[in-house]
Amino acid sequence: MSAISVESGAANTAAFGGLIDAVGGIGAIVLAIIGLTGFDPEGMAAIATIVVGAAFLIQAGAILSEYAHIVLQAVTGSPSSEDLSDGLAAMLLVGVGGIVLGVLALLGIQSAVLTAVAVIAYGGALVLSSSSVRALYVLRGQRAQLVARSGHELLAGQMVSGSAGVQLLTGLGAVVLGILAVAGHNPHVLSLAALLLLGVTVLLTGSALSSLVVSFMRTTPSSESMRVRG
C-alpha cells in the first residue's frame, strides 16, 4: 500500500510540474507578445527570460522526480537514461543561468545583450534536451510492461514525439535569433520573437509531460491489480 502511495505521489508531482510548466509557457507567450506590441520591450523581454528560466527548472524537476522514481523501481540499463540525464543537466544549469541573466537585464545591465545570450542558452538547452520527455516515455513504458496500449497512452506517445521535434527546431531557431540579436540586428525584437517561440515550446512540452504521466497513472494501476490477482 505504501509503495502505491509513493508511486502516486511521484506521478502527481510530475504531472503538476508539467502543468505549472505549461502555465509558465503561457506567461512567456503573453509577455513576449506585449513586448512585441511596443510596450516596454526591454522590461518584457527580461521578465519573459526569467519566466522561461523558471519553466526550465520546473520541467527538469518534474522529469527528475519521475525518473528518480523509475530508478527506485529498478528499471535500469536503458540506453535512453543517459540521454535523459544529459538533457536534465543542461536544463537545470541553463534555467538557473537564464534567471540570473534575466534579473540583471531587468535591472538595466546590458539588457539587450544579456537577454540575447539567455535566448542562445535556452535554445542550446532545448536541442540537448529535445529527447528527454521521449526518453522518459520509453522508461515509463519499460516499467509498466504493458502489452496492450490504451488510447490515452497512444495519444500521450504522439504528443511526446511531436514535442521532441518542436523542441529541436525551436532550439535551433532560438540560437540563430539570439546570435543575430547579439550582433545588433533589432536585438529586442529578435529576442522577444525567440522568447515567444520558447514559450510555445514550453507550453507544448509541459502539456506532453502531464499527458504522459496521467496516461500511465490510468493504465498502470490496472496492470498492477492484474499482477496482484495473478
Cα 152 from Cα 60, distance rounded (Å) = 23
Cα 88 from Cα 128, distance rounded (Å) = 9
- Per-residue pLDDT tens digits for 23-39: 888 999 999 999 999 99
Contact between 201 and 25 under an 8 Å Cβ cutoff? The reply is: yes
Contact between 68 and 126 under an 8 Å Cβ cutoff? The reply is: no
pLDDT of residue 6: 42
3-state helix/strand/coil string of the chain: CHHHHHHHHHHHHHHHHHHHHHHHHHHHHHHHHHHHCCCCHHHHHHHHHHHHHHHHHHHHHHHHHHHHHHHHCCCCCCCHHHHHHHHHHHHHHHHHHHHHHHHHHHCCCCHHHHHHHHHHHHHHHHHHCCCHHHHHHHHHHHHHCCCCCCHHHHHHHHHHHHHHHHHHHHHHHHHHHHHHHHCCCCHHHHHHHHHHHHHHHHHHHHHHHHHHHHHHHHHHHHHHHHHHHC
Cα 1 from Cα 178, distance rounded (Å) = 50
pLDDT of residue 65: 73
pLDDT of residue 4: 45
Which residue positions in the chain have pLDDT lower than 70? Answer: 1-18, 66-86, 133-162, 209-230
Structure pTM?
Answer: 0.77
Cα 179 from Cα 85, distance rounded (Å) = 27
Contact between 195 and 42 under an 8 Å Cβ cutoff? The reply is: no
